[in-house]
Structure 1
Amino acid sequence: MPLPNPSGNHSSLLCQEARARPPAFPASRRRSWLFVPGLDSAAQRRALASGADVLVADLEELTAPQDRAAACIRVVDFLGECRQAGVAAAVRINSLRHGGQVELEKIIEGAPDAVLTSQADAARHIEELDALLAACETRLRLPPGRTAVVPVLASPLAIVRTFDVLTASARIKAAVLAGGRLGAALGMEDPGDATALRPIRGRFALECAAAGCLAVDSGHAYPDARAQADDLAWARGAGIKSKCAVFEDQVAALNRALSPSI
C-alpha cells in the first residue's frame, strides 16, 4: 500500500521539531506508562499533568472504532504537546490489517517516540511493522530507526513466543504485558486479578531481561490504593521497574515505588 504525502505545514513543523530533538527511547526514567483515549483532549490534559514518564494515546481499546479517524488527527497534536512538556509520547495502534496501517501513516506525522502493537503473536508481525516504520521515517526524513516498537503481549501464544517476538527488531526497547486481556484469554474468573497472574508476570520479566528490553508490567485494574501498594511491593521484589496505568491518580504511587533507591 503506497504511503501518502505529508499532510501539510503543521505536520511538517512537528517533524522538524522531532528531527531537532533526540528520541525519548531509550530513556532512563520509564517507571509509569499512562494509557489515555485517543480523542479525549480533557483526559490527555490531565495525563500531561499526572507526572507519568510515558503517555500512550490508545487507538485500540480506549477509542471507539467510529472515532479512530478523528482520533488520529488529535493524536498528532497530542504528540507535539508531549514533546513540549518533555514527556515520552507513544501511540497504540490497531492490528495492521484492521486499520492499524492507516492509523500509522497518519500518526507518524507527529513523530511518536514509540508505536505499541498488540499484534505480537509472532516475529513476522513485528518485522512487518518495522518495515512500515522504516518507510514512514524515510518519507518524513526522520532519523532511521528513531521510532521504537513496543509489543503488547496479550495472548497465550504471545507469551509462549515472547523471546522470539522481542528479538524480532532492533527497534524494541520495551514490551508491555496486557494482563486483563491475557486473563480473559485464559478464562480466569477475574481477568483483572493481578495476583493470579504473578507466575506469568514473573516469566514476562525474565524473558524481557533475556531479550535486553524493559518489562512494562500490567497495570492494576482497580482504583484500590491498598491493593495497588501490595502489588507494587511484589513487583519491586520481582525486579520489575515499570508498570502501566489507566488511572492518572495511580501515577504518583508508581513513580514513588519504582524509582531507583540509589
Structure 2
Amino acid sequence: MTARPPAASAASVTSVPLTWLYVPGDRPEVVVKALASGADVVIVDLEDAVAPDRKEYARSATAELLSEPPPVPVHVRVNALDTVHAEDDLKALAPLRGLGALRLPKISAAADVVRVAERAAPADGGALPLHPLLESALGVERAYEIAAAHPSVRGVALGEADLRADLGVRDDRALDWPRSRVIVAARAAGLPPPAQSIHPDTRDLDGLARSCAHGRALGFLGRAAIHPRQLPVIERAYAPTPAEIESAEHIVEAAAARPGAQALPTGHFIDPAILAQARRTLTLAQRATRP
C-alpha cells in the first residue's frame, strides 16, 4: 500500500470538479451533448447504464470518442472487475489519448486497484488516474486501504444505490456513517474530498438541493449527476455564501499582513489549516465569476 502525504493545502483542491455528469456509453449522441452541458467532468458509463447486449457497442463508441482529447475531461466507468467485460474495457480504453481517468465500480480490495493500475499503465511510464467506487460494506470497511492502494488513485467515492442494497437500509440518514468514513479515508490518503453520489430523482430539484447542503456539511465537495438539469443546483449548493467569502477574505488578508498563527479582532483564530480552508473558499467563489 502506497500512501501519499496528507493533503492539507488549498492547492490540493483548486482543480477539483464540482459537477460530474454520468451518460450511457451506448448513446454517443447523448455523450456529445453532455460535453457541452457545462459539467466539469463527463463520466461515460459502460456498466449499469448499458444493457449486456450493448456492451460491445458502448465500448467501441467510447473508444472512438476518446481517440482524441475531448473539450472537457472524460472519465469512463468500466464494468466490474469480476465480469467478462472488464478486461476488454481496459484493453480498449487504457491507451486512448482522450481518456482522463477510469472509474472502477464495486471495489472491495486494494489488490484490485493495484491490478488495474499495473494493467492500465501507459507505455510512456505515466499513470492513468483511477477512481475506485465503494459500493459494499466491505468496500467501506477497507476505504483507507483502497484510497491509499496506489499513486494512480486520484479519488474515491461511494456508490450509494448498491450500498443501500448491501446494508438493507431504508432511511437515507443510515448512510451518514459510511459517507463520513469515506470522506475521512480520502483525506487521510491525501486525496481530495469525495464528491457525493447521485440523487436518483432528476425532477426533485428541491430534494437535490437539500441533500447537497447535507453532503456539504458532512465534508463532500461536489456531486455526480445523471441529468444536466441537476448541474446548476449542485453548483449553487457548493458555492460559498457571501458571509463565507467575506470571512475567508479577512483571513487571507490578515495572514498576508502578519504571517503565523494569530487571533483576529473578529474572534477568528488563524493557523495553517484555517488559512487553507479560507483559500479553498475563495477558489470555489471564483467559479461563480468564470466565463
Matched residue, 1:14? none
Matched residue, 2:266? none
Matches within 5 A, 1:1-262: 28-79=15-66, 83-85=69-71, 87-98=72-83, 99-111=85-97, 112-134=99-121, 137-138=122-123, 141=124, 143-145=125-127, 147-189=128-170, 194-214=172-192, 215-223=194-202, 224-259=204-239, 261-262=281-282
8 Å contact 1:73–1:107 — kept in the other structure? no
Hey, what's the Cα distance between the residues in 2 that align with 1:203 and 1:96?
24
Q: For residue 219 of structure 2, what is the amino acid of its counterpart? A: G
Report the alpha carbon displacement of residue 257 of structure 1 after superposing the two structures with TM.
Answer: 2.2
Report the alpha carbon displacement of residue 207 of structure 1 after superposing the two structures with TM.
Answer: 1.4
Query: 1:232–1:96: structure 2 CA closer, same or farther, 3 Å change rule?
Result: closer
8 Å contact 1:39–1:67 — kept in the other structure? yes
Mean Cα deviation higher: 221-230 or 102-111: 102-111
How many aligned residue pairs are there?
227
Hey, what's the Cα distance between the residues in 1 that align with 2:201 and 2:120?
35
Report the alpha carbon displacement of residue 48 of structure 1 after superposing the two structures with TM.
Answer: 1.3
Q: For residue 179 of structure 1, what is the amino acid of its counterpart? A: E
Query: 1:158–1:254: structure 2 CA closer, same or farther, 3 Å change rule?
Result: same
Matched residue, 1:22? none
Q: For residue 214 of structure 2, what is the amino acid of its counterpart? A: W
Hey, what's the Cα distance between the residues in 1 that align with 2:24 and 2:183?
27
Using the size of structure 1 for normalisation, the TM-score is: 0.80
Query: 1:96–1:232: structure 2 CA closer, same or farther, 3 Å change rule?
Result: closer
Say which SS state the counterpart of residue 66 (structure 2) adopts. helix
Say which SS state the counterpart of residue 36 (structure 1) adopts. strand
Using the size of structure 2 for normalisation, the TM-score is: 0.73
1:32-85 Cα offsets, whole Å, 9 max, x none, are 11111011123212311221111111111011111111111111233357x341
Hey, what's the Cα distance between the residues in 2 that align with 1:105 and 1:255?
35
Root-mean-square deviation (Å): 2.0
Say which SS state the counterpart of residue 236 (structure 2) adopts. helix
8 Å contact 1:57–1:92 — kept in the other structure? yes
1:136-158 Cα offsets, whole Å, 9 max, x none, are x11xx4x511x101001000000
Query: 1:184–1:102: structure 2 CA closer, same or farther, 3 Å change rule?
Result: same
Say which SS state the counterpart of residue 75 (structure 1) adopts. helix
| % identical equivalent positions | 28
Query: Who wins on radius of gyration, i.e. which is larger?
Result: 2
Hey, what's the Cα distance between the residues in 2 that align with 1:175 and 1:91?
14
Say which SS state the counterpart of residue 22 (structure 2) adopts. strand
Report the alpha carbon displacement of residue 199 of structure 1 after superposing the two structures with TM.
Answer: 2.5
8 Å contact 2:106–2:136 — kept in the other structure? no
Query: 1:124–1:84: structure 2 CA closer, same or farther, 3 Å change rule?
Result: closer
Say which SS state the counterpart of residue 35 (structure 1) adopts. strand
Structure 2: runs of 5+ lacking an equivalent: 1-11, 241-280, 283-291
8 Å contact 1:46–1:248 — kept in the other structure? no
Matched residue, 2:277? none
